[in-house]
Amino acid sequence: MSTQRKTLVLGGTVYLSQAIAKHAVARGHHVTVASRGSSGEPPEGVEFVRLDRSTGEGLDALRGKEFDAVFDVARLPALIGPVLDALADNAGHWSFVSTISVYKHFDVVSDELHEPTAADSTDPALEVYGASKIACENLVRERLGDKALITRPGLIVGPGDRNDRLGYWPLRFAEGGEVLVPGPKERPVQWIDVDDYAAWLLDAAEAQVSGTMDAIGAPLGFGAFLDGIADALIEHGVLTERPNLTWTPQEFLLEQGVNPWAGPDSFGMWVPTPDYDGHQSRPTDQAVAAGFRASPLGDTVKRWWDANAGAPRLKAGLSRKKEGEVLAAWHDEPVDADLAELDAKRAFAVPKPETPAYDG
């Protein structure tokens, strides 16, 4: 008689950790979600445990319990040690989500790492994000050994992304008209679908996969990336024809105040070339050998559309007003004064990015 698999997700209320919990519930696992409960609601079907991992006492609710698999996405080294002390000895497998921001060089593919922060660091600054994750990796590796899988994702995209790096493009294409896009077309872009990632991490835990590896899909040129989004929207019945794209040089866009990555006045998924080409061309062979399979871009786009387009609230990208100003400057024409009204219709709201550049 089989025993129900016991899975612990530290976090479990936001984005990737929430997706892991949902997928585990769908597989019939007994899922425990443990967090402060301040960032979101746990998924249906889980056992929720409120904890404060910054203190030993805050972990008492889990201390001594056995789990077949533990998943952790923490970014502060000081929060790793107490969890390992409480849980590592009774965990069958430990999956830690790191980031490709651990790599020192952005412009070339290199495995040279940042120097880690101190193991007790509580510094949340983005400037030490990669270094903090290395310190977290080291703590997990030292304590769990061959029971630990450490994965380094690039951009994680899909429903639930609070930076909405993918979402700008399908929504903007659906609005029609002239669409400003960043050249050059061949600049690489790379991502991992949040559902693909969650499913793979669960598979890897069940198979007892260990080691350290990048978690990312194969890179694609930006032109092919936008073509894939358009194709998916046409197949999904959202568009009847391809969007009218105006390719502009990255130097012009930067001069006009268009920002990379996410947040206000940005193009999601876009970073300048060649400055970031290395981080957008990471190797995929280790993850593939360990069982990772990436969904076609069209499937990722359709999942995002179905989850968000009914009540779109754009959380990253250019406002239509800003896009109109840049297009007017490119064509040396007057600005269309009516574009600001379109922002109100699309419920445009771009907060400061909530998570670091590479993972969610």
The 10s digit of each residue's pLDDT in 188-208 is 999 999 999 999 999 999 999
> What's the pLDDT at 353?
47
Between 182-186, 304-308, 336-340, the lowest mean confidence (pLDDT) is in 336-340
Domain residues of the chain, as ranges? 6-153, 168-191+219-278+295-345
- Please tell me which residue, 315 or 3, carries the higher pLDDT value: 3
Q: Is 292 helix (H, G, I), strand (E, B) or coil?
A: coil
State which H helix or E strand residue 247 sits in.
strand 244-248
Check whether 347 has a pLDDT greater than 70: no
CA distance 42 to 80: 21
pLDDT at 195: 97
- Would you list the DSSP string of 175-215? H-SEEEEESPTT-EE--EEHHHHHHHHHHHHHTT--EEEEE
The reported pLDDT for the residue numbered 71 is 98
Instruction: Give 6-153's CATH code, choosing from 3.40.50.300, 3.40.50.720, 3.10.129.10, 3.40.50.1820.
Output: 3.40.50.720
Chain segment 242-287, per-residue pLDDT in tens: 999 999 999 999 999 999 887 788 998 999 999 999 999 999 999 9
Q: pLDDT value at position 358? A: 43
Beta strand 188-189 with 220-221: parallel, antiparallel or unpaired?
antiparallel
User: Distance between CA atoms of 160 and 167, rounded to whole angstroms?
Assistant: 10
Residue 344: per-residue pLDDT:
65
Q: Could you tell me which residue, 14 or 344, shows the higher pLDDT?
A: 14
Residue 96's pLDDT band (cuts 50, 70, 90): very high
Please give the C-alpha separations between residue 120 and each of 20, 50, 54, 55, 117, in angstroms, as whole numbers: 27, 23, 11, 12, 8
| pTM, rounded to two decimals | 0.93
How far is residue 252 from each of residues 86, 113, 258, 319, 329, measured CA to CA in Å? 53, 33, 9, 18, 10
Q: What is the per-residue pLDDT for 108? A: 94
5: DSSP letter: P
Read off the pLDDT of each residue in 110-116 and give the average, rounded to a whole number: 96
Q: What pLDDT sits at residue 326?
A: 96
pLDDT digits (tens, 9 = 90+) for 117-153: 999 999 999 999 999 999 999 999 999 999 999 999 9
pLDDT at 181: 97
**Region label for 314, one of left (φ > 0), alpha (ψ between -120 and 50) or beta (otherwise):** beta
Q: CB–CB of 193/331 below 8 Å?
A: no
Give me the pLDDT at residue 5, please.
96
Amino acid at the residue 323: E
Q: DSSP labels for 34-74?
A: EE-S-S-PPPTT-EEEE--TTSSGGGTTTTT--BSEEEE--
Region 70-77 average pLDDT: 96
pLDDT higher than threshold 60 for residue 343: yes
Helices (H), 128-193: 129-144, 168-175
Mean pLDDT across the stretch 298-306? 95
Which has the closest alpha carbon to 85: 39, 47, 142, 44? 142
Contact between 6 and 29 under an 8 Å Cβ cutoff? The reply is yes
